[in-house]
Amino acid sequence: MTVISETSSPVYDVSRVRADFPILAERIHGKRLAFLDTAASSQRPLSVIEAVNDYERHHHANIHRGVYQLSQRATDRFEGSRERVREFLNARSEREIIFTRGTTEAINLVANTWGQSLKPGDEILITWMEHHANIVPWQMLCERTGALLKVIPMTRRGELDMDAFEQLLSPRTRLLACTAVSNALGTVLPLPTLIAAARRHGALVLVDAAQAVAHQRLDVQTLDCDFLAFSGHKLYGPTGIGVLYAREAILRTLPPWQGGGDMILTVSFTKTTYNDLPYRFEAGTPNISGAVGLAAAIDYLLTLGIEAVAHHEHQLLEHATERLQRIEGLTIIGEAAHKTGVISFTLEDIHPHDLGTILDSEGVAVRTGHHCAMPVMEFFDVPATARASFGCYSCNEDIDQLIGALGRAREVFG
Ligand code: PLP
């Protein structure tokens, strides 16, 4: 595996990083693959593929309940992965790390447990640039409880309107649920400022870290958030595994959500008692190999160095932005001063889906559509955008190929 130290101002050798990702050698319509859709799902390095393979070949059994050796091996690996996640987030205890299917399930868990305490007139604050996963669960909760959903507006550059934010906070605000990075615009939100302000008003804070987790350090103690959610597949790990971090003192007060095996201590027809944290929130057999793969993905990213990767992605962002801006008729949607490696754009009046199809025929994989952020599309008055996004393996050649394919699209639709 490529080793790039975090501390020693590394020279980032992207060709060595790319060699860790077998899928990048695939040919698409006979062309080199320029994979520019990491924001939707990142690719997996060989070390993750092999960790999952090793688990499946040598260690699989159901966890927690088995006295036989194989079950104990599987349990050790699953719980070892939880410890790896705890360390990664700098959570105080493994009791604060709940495995979920992903960010979406983690947010729904909070809405369905903590959310039960809401009363009519309580307020939940979200931002205009949330993914649907951080909108719809709160809307559903508000419908059930009579609480109100308030939305912090944004500016034409795609930055949060901080004055409006301050005005929306009040003693009625029970929760600020906000993304760390907008998946549709790439905007990095000023989490420390947002969290400090929410705290001053006594509100809890949930961070949707789906788009941040692979690009910035997330230390839950420094951030001082109450909940944080992310998905393994945005972090070079498998799909179907994710994490909810929740402050232990809060978790202890929450009712269980899904009922079933593993989340109980005793069951009788008259009374059921519940398991300790975190198992109380993990009903049923979990995605064991997914957790193993997630731990391997964390190891991989930390070996590259999050800061080194983020620096590399930032250089690509600047280079791609500069190249795209030179294309006549191309409009970049989202021009925040602080962005991650995500560029949304439209090209003249070519529908983004048509654009995506042409780009695909040139081997370029970009996402087109509303990116599960329909309010953002409405705000910018576009039905959809094309979105290029970068990861640790993205390179200048990918950008060259994108620019070339956009030229081809203009010829086709010209
Ligand atoms: N939040 C953000 C900001 C996202 O970008 C995504 C996925 O794109 C999600 C939540 C949902 O993640 P998942 O589908 O893995 O649950």
Report which DSSP code applies to 278. Answer: T
Report which DSSP code applies to 332. Answer: E
Q: Which amino acid is at 206?
A: L
Domain residue limits, the chain: 14-39+305-409, 50-302
Confidence of residue 10 (pLDDT cuts 50, 70, 90): low
Confidence of residue 272 (pLDDT cuts 50, 70, 90): very high
pLDDT at 1 exceeding the cut of 60 = no
Distance of CA 122 to the CA centre of its chain: 27
pTM, two decimals, is: 0.96
Closest ligand 1 atom number to CA of residue 133: 10
Phi, psi of 366 (to 5 degrees): -125, 160
Percent of the chain with pLDDT over 90: 96
> For a substitution probing ligand 1, which of 132, 207, 231 has the most ligand atoms within 8 Å of its CB?
231
Phi, psi of 65 (to 5 degrees): -100, -10
Distance 231 CA to ligand 1 centre (A): 7
> Any idea which residues carry the catalytic annotation?
372
SS3 annotation, 25-59: HCEECCEECEECECCCCCCCCHHHHHHHHHHHHHC
Distance 8 CA to ligand 1 centre (A): 33
Residues 204 and 193: their CA atoms lie apart, in Å, by: 14
Check residue 413 and give its pLDDT: 86
Q: Which residues line ligand 1 (CB under 6 A)?
A: 102-104, 131, 133-134, 179, 183, 208, 210-211, 231
Confidence of residue 8 (pLDDT cuts 50, 70, 90): very low
Evaluate the omega torsion of the peptide bond into residue 278 and state whether it is cis, within 30 degrees of 0: yes
> Which 3 state secondary structure label does DSSP give 148?
strand
Confidence of residue 7 (pLDDT cuts 50, 70, 90): very low
Query: What would the mean pLDDT of 52-81 be, rounded to a whole number?
Result: 96
CATH superfamily, domain at 14-39+305-409: Aspartate Aminotransferase, domain 1 (3.90.1150.10)
Closest ligand 1 atom number to CA of residue 371: 8
Check residue 66 and give its pLDDT: 80
Distance 40 CA to ligand 1 centre (A): 8
The predicted-structure confidence for 338-372, as pLDDT tens digits, reads as follows: 999 999 999 998 999 999 999 999 999 999 999 99
Closest ligand 1 atom number to CA of residue 239: 15
The predicted-structure confidence for 236-256, as pLDDT tens digits, reads as follows: 999 999 999 999 999 999 999
Closest ligand 1 atom number to CA of residue 106: 16
Check residue 4 and give its pLDDT: 44
Check residue 2 and give its pLDDT: 45
Residues 188 and 165: their CA atoms lie apart, in Å, by: 16
> Which residue has the CA at smallest separation from atom 6 of ligand 1?
210
Closest ligand 1 atom number to CA of residue 181: 3
Find where tokens 């201590």 sit.
Answer: 265
Distance 130 CA to ligand 1 centre (A): 10
Q: Kindly give, in sequence order, each residue whose CB lies less than 8 Å from that of residue 315, ignoring residues fewer than 6 positions away.
A: none
Distance 182 CA to ligand 1 centre (A): 10
pLDDT at 6 exceeding the cut of 70 = no
Phi, psi of 190 (to 5 degrees): -80, 75
> For a substitution probing ligand 1, which of 187, 211, 215 has the most ligand atoms within 8 Å of its CB?
211
Distance 41 CA to ligand 1 centre (A): 9
Q: Which of 143-147, 150-154, 394-398, 407-411 has the lowest mean pLDDT?
A: 407-411
First-to-last CA distance in the chain? 45
The predicted-structure confidence for 112-137, as pLDDT tens digits, reads as follows: 999 999 999 999 999 999 999 999 99
> Which residue has the CA at smallest separation from atom 12 of ligand 1?
103
The predicted-structure confidence for 25-50, as pLDDT tens digits, reads as follows: 999 999 999 999 999 999 999 999 99
Beta-ladder partners of 148: 123
> For a substitution probing ligand 1, which of 131, 188, 342 has the most ligand atoms within 8 Å of its CB?
131
Closest ligand 1 atom number to CA of residue 179: 3
| Topology annotation, domain 50-302 | Aspartate Aminotransferase; domain 2 (3.40.640)
Query: What would the mean pLDDT of 149-169 be, rounded to a whole number?
Result: 98
> Which residue has the CA at smallest separation from atom 8 of ligand 1?
40
pLDDT at 14 exceeding the cut of 50 = yes
Domains 14-39+305-409 and 50-302 share a fold: no
pLDDT at 3 exceeding the cut of 90 = no
Query: What would the mean pLDDT of 61-88 be, rounded to a whole number?
Result: 96
Q: Is the dihedral of CA 232, 233, 237, 238 positive or negative?
A: positive
pLDDT at 146 exceeding the cut of 70 = yes
Distance 117 CA to ligand 1 centre (A): 25
Average pLDDT, rounded, for the chain: 96
> Which residue has the CA at smallest separation from atom 5 of ligand 1?
183
